[in-house]
Homo-oligomer: A and B are copies of this chain.
Amino acid sequence: MPFEPVILFFLLGLLAALVRSDLKIPGVVYEALSIFLLLAIGLKGGVELARHDVLDLALPALVVVGVAMVIPLACFPILLRLGRLPRADAASIAAHYGSVSVVTFAVASSFLATRDVPADGYMTVFLALLELPALLVGVFLARRGQGQVQWSTLLHEVLAGKSIVLLAGGLLIGWIAGPEGIKPLDRLFFDLFKGMLAFFLLEMGLVAAGRLADLRRAGPFLVAFAVGAPVCAGLLGLLTAGMLDFSVGNAVLLATLYASASYIAAPAAMRIAVPEANPALSIGAALGITFPFNLMAGIPLYYWLAVHMNGAFS
């Protein structure tokens, strides 16, 4: 199969919404599953981090985060000029695409595991690091010259937001407890991970279908953007990975991180920091188009490119 079987659950969710099924997954189940996934991803990363020297990550981390800032800075003028979107909307959408999607990352990891392509656990650290900075860039773009941003509120909203707390908390617990300490928890957090991801993707399908409807009023530009942006960002990720001498697996993960658009931390942060931006546009593009695109076409594409750019990766 060209794509991961778990994606079939996403399609089932989409389909159920399309035929207007009464299938509804309660909001609290969505909450519980997303807590589980964030924690499990953090734990897994932390356990593997224990096997590396953390300081070796400092330089690549700086490069990875620095280059990633190109994404919102490049998206913004495109959205503003080409897309003729209001400044607030352009900035908010740029922030969503500069930040990252945890579930897309999880599906990419799963895709690599199915193909026995090794990838390093410390990629989770980049996942955690990439969440925030693009949001700051987005707010800065929205407010440039118009003063009055409550930066402290915003920083608190994101840094104390559940995705950072759970990812970083999981990393830390995994790191402190180490593989031995975590072993009794493996049955829940690692063995069930893929099944839970499948279940979560079913929900995501239901949710994404609703966002597609929101997007209908937005016109073709945003749809094209929501497909073009991840492809360009994915390429940027592959180039950066080549520069940093990453393995094929790590390169695919970095490309996926760059290509993915946030739909957990970014919407919440933008709603507070740039309230005049219309969330239907940013969430509609990120979740209605880019998310399914990455799942079904993007990840296989970045993988295919990474394999064929051989020589570039160690």
Contact = CB atoms under 8 A, between A and B. Distances in A.
Interface of A: 1, 5-6, 8-9, 12, 15-16, 19-26, 28-29, 31-32, 35-36, 39, 110, 113-114, 156-157, 159-162, 165-166, 169, 172-173, 176-177, 181-182, 184-189, 191-192, 194-196, 198-199, 202, 268
A162 B172 CA distance: 35
B173 A12 contact: yes
Nearest to A43: B198
Given A31-B26, A32-B25, A19 B188 contact: no
A189 B192 CA distance: 9
Given A1-B177, A169-B16, A185-B195, A25 B29 contact: no
A28 B27 CA distance: 9
B195 A188 contact: yes
Nearest to A25: B35
A23 B265 CA distance: 12
Given A19-B165, A165-B23, A169-B15, A195 B189 contact: yes
A190 B8 CA distance: 18
Contacts of A6: 185
18 contacts: A1-B181, A5-B177, A8-B173, A8-B177, A16-B160, A16-B165, A19-B159, A21-B160, A22-B160, A23-B162, A23-B166, A24-B31, A25-B31, A28-B28, A110-B184, A184-B194, A188-B199, A192-B192
